[in-house]
Amino acid sequence: MKLQTKKRVWSAVLVAALAVANFQAVDASTMSKAKDAKKQAEQELNEANRQIEEIEQQKSQLQGEIDEKDAELVNLLVNIGILEDELKDKNVQLEQVKEDLAAAEQTEEKQYASMKKRIQFMYERGDTAMVEALLGSADMSDFLNRVEYVSEVYEYDRNLLTQYQTTVQQVADLKISVETEKSELEAMQEEYALQQDSLEHVLADKRAKMGDYDNQMVTAQAAAEEFRQTIIAQNQIIQEEERRIREEEERRLREAAEAEARARAAQNNAGGNTGGGSGGDNASGNGAGGTSTGTGGAADGGGANPGYSTGVSGGAVVSYACQFVGNPYVWGGTSLTNGADCSGFVMSVFAHFGISLPHSSAAMQGYANAQPGDLICYSGHVAIYMGGGQIVHAQSTAVGITTSSATYRTIVAVRRVL
């Protein structure tokens, strides 16, 4: 009868364990897909951010080139403005020179005509003029004066004509110089116009390229935002799956514990009935023995503490466990550095001290007074007691391995394994 009851106990436990395993396998698939999608989105986001950074660098470089060409164009437009003013001045100067040349040529012509008339008059009168000069003079001195005067008139006319001719030549040379300078300014104006046209084309091309970069930036930023939203969505899926896994695991564990409790109750009832048939004398004749049997039954039912000492200090366990605070929580994981879940964390910490524990929070449950190094068991969760009401545990994917108050959730059991 006891053997059949024990079989029923283990069958109930096995069924519950298989149900939990199947549920975890299904949820693990959903979780894996979500993590894969998140990882892919993170990689794509990194690539999009790299493209954004590259585009920003290209835009910055291009903006520098545009600023440089803008400065060249501004300088060129200033020079064109100066050149236009110089051309206006040259046109005014050229008009004045033309007027001066015309006046000088006219004066030269008049002087030349007057001189020709005087020479013609003198030559037409021949030597008579000289004779009249001699006869009309009062004395020799007067005569010489008159001859000198005639010579001075000739010399004056000649010098004056030479002066006018020189003036005309100078004005003509100035006219040629001004016209040459004007031609040079006009040639420079054409060159400036070509440079302006070239700079404006270059700037138009660069601004069009900047527009392309702006469009690329908008596209890359939109893609990055889409990847960020994907990561957020996958994180929500992962968190929801973790919550559902935790809640379902707790529910399954409760059902398994209840089934086990019912089976053990049935076993105890069956044992009590058997004992009642033949143990009445034992109860009246040996009450202490009955007490001993009851204590033994508690031990057979999974006593909380071992009947031996490992020699390992609870403080040493806590100190070692706290080294990994801040590392990630990974469901089903057992790595203290790369990630572990609650039972995997506890199992790996105690394995460091040569103590073997099962990778199951339900299998670690029991009852005792908590001391540093003891296991604090919750529904579907297990932690290491640090003392002072604090625990160290792999709490969740959100916070990873951390420390917190032992009463942050309802304590189911405390188990000593040292």
User: If DSSP codes are grouped into helix, strand and coil, which group holds residue 383?
Assistant: strand
DSSP letters for 194-255: HHHHHHHHHHHHHHHHHHHHHHHHHHHHHHHHHHHHHHHHHHHHHHHHHHHHHHHHHHHHHH
Look at residue 130 in the predicted model and tell me its pLDDT: 54
- Computed over every residue of the chain, the mean pLDDT equals 75
Look at residue 279 in the predicted model and tell me its pLDDT: 37
Look up residue 225 and give its two tokens.
């935002």
pTM of the model: 0.42
Contacts of 66 (CB under 8 A, 6+ apart): 203, 206, 207, 210
CA nearest neighbour of 134 among 121, 126, 144, 125: 144
Give yes or no for residue 216 having a pLDDT over 80: yes
Q: How confident is the model over 268-326, as pLDDT tens digits?
A: 776 544 444 333 333 333 333 333 333 233 333 334 455 556 678 888 888 898 899 88
The band of 247, judged by pLDDT with boundaries at 50, 70 and 90, is confident
**How far is the C-alpha of 222 from the C-alpha of 158, rounded, in Å?**
95
Look up residue 76 and give its two tokens.
């060129």
Give yes or no for residue 9 having a pLDDT over 60: no
